[in-house]
Amino acid sequence: MADVFVSYKADDRRRVQPLVQSLQADGYSVWWDEHIGAGDEWRQTIERELDAARCVIVVWSKASVGPDGHFVRDEASRAQRRHVYVPVLIDPVEPPLGFGESQATSLKGWKGNRSDPRYHAVLGAVQRIAGGSSSTPSGNETSRAVDRRAVLAGGAVATVAIVGVGGWALFKPGAATAKSDSIAVLPFANLSGDPSRAYFSDGIAEEIRTALSRIDGLTVIGRISSEAVRNDDAATAAKKLHVANILTGSVRQSPTTIRITAELIDGRTGADKWSEDYDRAPGDAIKIQTDIASRVTAALRSALGNMERTLAIGGTSNPAAHDQYLKGVAVYLSGHSQSNFEQAKTLAQTAIDLDPAYADAYALKAASLVELTGSYAMTGDDFIRGFAQAEAAANRAIELQPKLISAQLSLARVYNAELNFKAALNQFQLAERTGGNSANFLMEYANFLCELDSPIRALELAKRAVALDPLNPRALGIEATAYFIARRYPQAIAVGQAILKLSPGRSSTQRLIGDALLLQGKLKEAAAEYAKIPADDLFRLTSESILWAKMGDVAASDRSLARIRTLYADAASAQYADIYAQRGKPDEAFAALGQAVAIRDPGLAWIVSDPFLDPIKKDARFTALVRKLNFPAV
């Protein structure tokens, strides 16, 4: 039984979705349906859910008050008889005769802002009728992570914020022309009545997105930006993302049936180019995804020419394994925390147990192990063991599917974390030749090239990533990092400030701005930026230790250094080197770098490009260290 049943006309689904998501965010379970389906099973399900719901919200619009809105009127009548009726207006209309006695709340133009008083009025009515929610929204888990690869601003790997788009207009040209060979796959709506199933509908959209990105000549917008416009209509989403085509859809599951609806829309006119409903057994979801990708390709053939490409999806024919994999991906992307990566690794292993030939699951396991080891390992043995397990999983994925970009990317990241930079570069180059052109691949490759002190090439790839995922702050963060390692600090700060308009309070960006100010000698301004970062953040403590020393307060610098040692011990060896280099203590800096080598600290990946190490880079010991670590020429 759901807390809330939402009754509405199918035409209004995109406009109703923000209300559903907001109620779910406030802890209510919501049952809603895209449209009244044919067949007794769906009618019976709707009737059962309608009669069992603790509260029924009826959405009145031009469509639902019109002659085709009889189902909405029937559902409203039942809700009135049970005294659980909450009317909402999304158009300037009057409810039909017999439904106007209760005051309707207007949500006309509302896009999902949960602080809006109008939404609070609806929420209050739900609370009065249904009582408190049956569940509580989950909070953000916090944990102390040491992401040594994030020593510079663009290194954070698991970006999960789905950001608003208002700030983007401040720095993204609005007059860009959408090419006919461009598409955004919006998240598929979860219509199963169970919010916990959202991973499945989102995962289907991502796998279709990945399949389409394999087609030469087709520009496919990345996941973060596509999810950022999930509540917009097709024309608005297309305009924000500068694409000509929008693919949207929905997924509804019951124990015996899965219904997937897909619709390809012309982003300029809003006209349907193709649409299809699939009613199949749950195990057929993988085949349906492949068919959708093929149908979209056929519909866009005039723009793409005659290019054909295999559009295999999922990497498995086992529906249970596929389900575990999609759960793992959702958890992996849900937040940078040790527990999330442990759970993602476990789900990937469960998928592998169900299908030992599932390459995508091995790639997910490898990615999870890289995050766990790179961010949470505290000893040299932990580093060696964790990265060895990640390398084995990545190699198994490539053995199963040699051209699988996600597997090649995982292996490149493992080599990089193991400080095997030549092997990592070779793997990135191989993936690029194989067809690596997704936003995620371009971001990872650009970040790696930043490590190798190749900012020009890194900027090129970062800008391509931004074009494919324009609302993803991480893509811009890597562009800012490329400017930073090029010592172009004003440009790095400008991009950083744009990121904060897009994603306020982003710590890695505040640190980048602070470091760029610090390295320009603007110490007070730098201090103000560092103060915005959590107090025990490793990189805030590192930068502040340098800052206090430059301001002549050695005691404060020592206190920050001591705090790092208390919290992070030898795992922060690369950061100690930064501090000592900036404090004019080269012997101590090289001792710290020696310890970093001993424990295989992934932070060593940044030493050739790190501006904080500039004071010791002419020392023969630094040249010897770079040679020992075998950095490749790019």
Rounded distance between C-alpha atoms, residue 78 and residue 121, angstroms = 22
Q: How are beta strands 30-32 and 4-7 bridged, if at all?
A: parallel
pLDDT at 142 (0 to 100)? 37
Q: Tokens for 239, please give them.
A: 């305009």
Rounded distance between C-alpha atoms, residue 328 and residue 599, angstroms = 30
What angle is formed at CA 533 by the lines to CA 529 and CA 538, rounded to 5 degrees? 115
pLDDT at 148 (0 to 100)? 46
Contacts of residue 520, Cβ cutoff 8 Å, sequence gap at least 6: 489
The conformational region for residue 233 under phi > 0 = left, psi -120 to 50 = alpha, else beta, is beta
Q: CB burial class (10 A; 0-12, 13-18, 19+) of residue 27?
A: middle
Rounded distance between C-alpha atoms, residue 300 and residue 294, angstroms = 10
Contacts of residue 623, Cβ cutoff 8 Å, sequence gap at least 6: none
Which domains occur in the chain, in start order?
A: 4-130 (3.40.50.10140), 166-317 (3.40.50.10070), 534-634 (no CATH)
pTM for this predicted structure? 0.69
Contacts of residue 510, Cβ cutoff 8 Å, sequence gap at least 6: 496, 500, 529, 530, 532, 533
Q: How high is the mean pLDDT in each 10-residue block of the chain (634 residues)?
A: 88 84 85 56 79 93 88 90 91 84 82 80 88 53 45 41 34 50 88 80 84 81 89 86 89 81 85 82 75 74 52 70 90 86 96 94 93 82 90 93 86 88 94 86 94 94 93 93 96 95 90 97 96 92 97 96 93 94 97 92 91 97 94 84
Rounded distance between C-alpha atoms, residue 338 and residue 94, angstroms = 52
Contacts of residue 442, Cβ cutoff 8 Å, sequence gap at least 6: 436, 461, 462, 464, 465, 468
Contacts of residue 519, Cβ cutoff 8 Å, sequence gap at least 6: 487, 489, 611, 612
pLDDT at 261 (0 to 100)? 85
